[in-house]
Chain A
Amino acid sequence: MTSIHLKSAWDHIRRSPFQAIAAVFVLATTFFVATMLAILVYSSSQAIKYFETRPQVIAFIKDNVTSEKISLLQNKLISDMRVKDVRYVSKDEALEIYKNATSDKPLLSELVSPDIFPASLEFSLNDLSFAESVIEEIKKEDIVDEVGFTANLGGESTLSDVVGRLRKITWYLRVGGGIYVTIQLGVSFLVLMIIIGMRMSTRKEEIQILDLIGATSSFIRSPIILEAIIYAISGVFIGWLIALILVLYTTPTVISYFAEIPVLPKDTSYLFYLLGLILLAELFLGILLALIGSMIALLRSRKNK
């Protein structure tokens, strides 16, 4: 039975190709933007996660402190639920880090010895809101000389600034992008409704005949709803495919630009998994849009009968 409805839907599409193209084009544009926005939101979330999980607090240890006392503080921090990724950095390791950081200027590393670098305990916070209380507590420890919150980034921004900014950008992206996609979805919805409404008008005679020979309303509705679903699936797939091509084309450049910040998955299968999830969500949304749009158009046409 479905085949006769599918055939009817396909016949209607074939007989008015420009209406079909308009519907698919609008839907494809909407879902292209939606796919790109979903990827941008994913990337910014990944960037936030990356910065949030970097060592955020460095407790510099006074000179001549015994390793037992350092271990004691390290264990205390490990057992603290607010804190994660606790790591001890010895004076020698601190010198190594310095040397790596100044590898392009060997003269600078030659002038220093491990003695001038304090040993430290580096750790991250599960949430940046714990920063103040944790820092205050650790400052009171006898063996702690100084507490640094933040590693300097670019010499001007603290880590919290970066995270704060990223969060703001992500928020704007989500809200702005969300509003834009909602408007686009609204336009697609209206276009679908108009096209289905036009289809109903052109099929008026056919609908009357079907009604007279005993077609139920679900029988009359089926090809119209199927037609809307065909538009939605085609629009979603085309929009998603264009976004996929764009993402695949730019991924190597993006990954090399952001280096260790994992804004896009480096593993191709995971990238496809992510895009597959986006496609599924969009198909669901597209079909929902088609169903609601066609049902409203049908109800309106029945009211106007």
Chain B
Amino acid sequence: MLELKGITKSFGKIKALEDINFNVEKGEFVFITGPSGAGKTTIIRLILRELLPDQGEIILAGRDITKLPSKQIPYLRQKIGTIFQDFKVLPEKTVRENIEMALAVCGVNQEEWKDRVIDVLKMVGLKKRHSLFPSQLSGGELQRLSMARALAINPKIVLADEPTGNLDWDTADLIMDLFQKINSEGRTVIMATHHELIIKKYAQRIIELKEGRVVKDTASKKEIQPKKDIESQDINKSE
């Protein structure tokens, strides 16, 4: 479903990603982990075509999205459900309007809106909050709204960038249950997180990044040692 081949990305002199390679199959739940600055968000932004890599290919549903013309980018994003750490909900629209806006963006027939909105609000447990504005919601509710918006468009792939980053453990746990539910429906979920408890409890496949490189990919069933570690081992050996 998704394949990153030899992705390299620099911001000025800083190398954010270096030679990233991995595959994500349809229906997988993949955790991209690593410390802050490891490059987790950069990968999410590359898949969303917010950024272009310096090198490499990103194949999504058989198409290299790095070669996508700018005019096609919105249509790519319409197929991906994205959940952000800072929620990115429209502050001047109600819960219902936020979801309706996503449906309008994707060109969903207006007659379908009502049912879809009710379905996703029920799923995330915000049905009674449909007429409230984001400023009237808690952090957990905002994240659930962000999830509802992402799910309303019925995406095959869901990207989540630190979705529990601003939440306490209990709320994060609830949110993760929702992600599991989404995944169990056959949707591919790629989640960037550094929340260790969550990784321990929910992880199926972990791609661990360190200083812009993949150091572990549980799908490949082997740990990839960071370049520095390899270099230090070599030095030790030579000593």
Contacts and interface: CB of A to CB of B under 8 A. Distances in A.
Given A1-B107, A214-B77, A216-B105, 8 more contacts: A1-B110, A3-B110, A4-B104, A209-B88, A210-B90, A212-B84, A215-B74, A216-B74
Contacts of B48: 212
B101 interface: yes
Q: Interface size class for chain A?
A: 10 to 19
Contacts of B183: none
A11 interface: yes
29 contacts: A1-B104, A1-B110, A3-B110, A4-B100, A11-B92, A206-B90, A206-B91, A209-B88, A209-B89, A209-B90, A210-B90, A210-B101, A210-B105, A211-B74, A212-B48, A212-B50, A212-B82, A212-B84, A213-B78, A213-B88, A213-B102, A214-B76, A214-B77, A214-B79, A214-B80, A214-B105, A214-B106, A215-B105, A219-B105
B169 interface: no
Contacts of A211: 74
A3 B100 CA distance: 12
Interface in A165-190: none
Given A11-B92, A206-B90, A213 B104 contact: no
Interface of A: 1, 3-4, 11, 15, 205-206, 208-217, 219
Interface size class of B (residues with CB under 8 A): 20 to 34
Nearest to A203: B92
Nearest to A218: B74
A4 B93 CA distance: 11
A206 B93 CA distance: 10
Contact of A213 (B92, B105, B107): B105
A195 B102 CA distance: 27
A15 B92 contact: yes
Given A11-B92, A205-B91, A206-B90, A212 B100 contact: no
Interface string B143-162: 00000010000000000000
Contacts of A3: 110
